[in-house]
Structure formats: structure tokens, C-alpha cells
Amino acid sequence: MKLHIGGEQVNASWKILNIQHKEGVDFIGDICDLSQFPDDSIDEIYASHTLEHIPQKKMVETLRGIYRILKQGGKFYISVPDLDILCHTFMSPLASLEIKYQVMRIMFGGQEDSFDFHYFGWNQAFLYQYLQQAGFSGADRVDSFGLFSDSSNDKPFGFPISLNVIAIK
């Protein structure tokens, strides 16, 4: 099985786990508690702009839960807002107030509902360190996954704002 955590786009090859009841969702649940899935039961996991919604104190445990349910050699596709790029953009003297406001919302969440808040800011060094602590054997940054049309591909300012990584169990 392939699991899309936090997803909304229905794809016959992927099952969707979402914390909210929405059309097309196969499993209701929280990424921080994957106890509904057995060990080594998932071939691939995709989470786009999801990890930043996890409180810092739960991050290692959450990533260990993802590691637990992935099969050996399984892939974890991760996309998060890239804090290095966002900070650079925010601090640019060329950025208008409108652009700075958009960047701020990407950093802290759109806050359109009670789940749309960000607890964590990611860059490549942080992500690789946390993945290693959770047990992942390797991780590679990629430009795009080519799997879904979502935030992982966003270029609101003409350049990518996401850190896209594939981690291997």
C-alpha cells in the first residue's frame, strides 16, 4: 500500500490518511499516531507540507512511527516549506510588503482552521538530522517528486519554496 498523509487528491494508487473528514479520505487519523497501521506494512509514504504541523516535542516519535510502518527499502517522500529560502525571501529589500506577508503565512501557516498552524520550521540540515534520529538510512533532496500537483511544486514568487526529500528505510 502507498499512503498519502494529509492528502486530498484522490489517486487510485494511493490511500489517503487525513486528520480531517474530507471526501476521498480512506483513513482518519493523526500523523503523530499511526498505530492503526501494522509494522512494515506500507511501501511508500507521501507527506507534502505536513511535518511542519507537528509540535517539536513530538517530531522524533512521529518520524519513528513513519519508519515503523514503512517496509524495508520503503520510500518516504517529504515536502516542507524551506525555511532557508523563505527567510532569504522575507529579508530581501526587493520583497514588497505583500510578498513578505505571503512568506510569513507560509512560515507560520495560513491559520484558516484549527489544523492550519505551523509548529516547526524546516531546512535541509534539520530534516536530515531528524530523519537520522528516526532510523532512516539515507535521504536525497530532489526538485520534484512528480507524484501529485500540490504544495511541493509551488513557486509563488517564481522559484520553489519547498524542500523536497526522499528518505529510505
Average pLDDT over residues 122-136: 98
Mean pLDDT over the full length of the chain: 96
Residue-by-residue DSSP string for 16-85: EEESS--TT-SEE--TT--TTS-TT-EEEEEEES-GGGS-GGGHHHHHHHHHHHEEEEEEEEEEEEBHHH
pLDDT digits (tens, 9 = 90+) for 38-89: 999 999 999 999 999 999 999 999 999 999 999 999 999 999 999 999 999 9
For position 124, what pLDDT does the model report? 98
Which cell numbers hold the place of 70?
514503512
Average pLDDT over residues 6-22: 94
Structural domain boundaries, residue 134:
2-168
Cell 491559520 maps to which residue? 111
Taking alpha carbons only, the member of 121, 8, 101 closest to residue 56 is 121
Which cell numbers hold the place of 80?
516542507
What is the DSSP code (8-state) at residue 109? -
Q: Is 3 exposed, middle or buried (0-12, 13-18, 19+ CB in 10 A)?
A: buried
Neighbours of 15 (CB within 10 A): 18
The C-alpha atoms of residue 38 and residue 137 are separated, in whole angstroms, by 21
For position 132, what pLDDT does the model report? 97
For position 5, what pLDDT does the model report? 98
For position 168, what pLDDT does the model report? 97
pLDDT band at residue 13 under the 50/70/90 scheme: very high
Residue 146 C-beta-side C-alpha neighbours within 13 Å: 2
CATH number at residue 103: 3.40.50.150
Strand order in the sheet with 162-168: 27-28, 15-18, 2-5, 42-48, 70-81, 162-168, 138-142
Neighbours of 64 (CB within 10 A): 14
Number of structural domains the chain divides into:
1
Whole-number percent of the chain with pLDDT over 70: 100
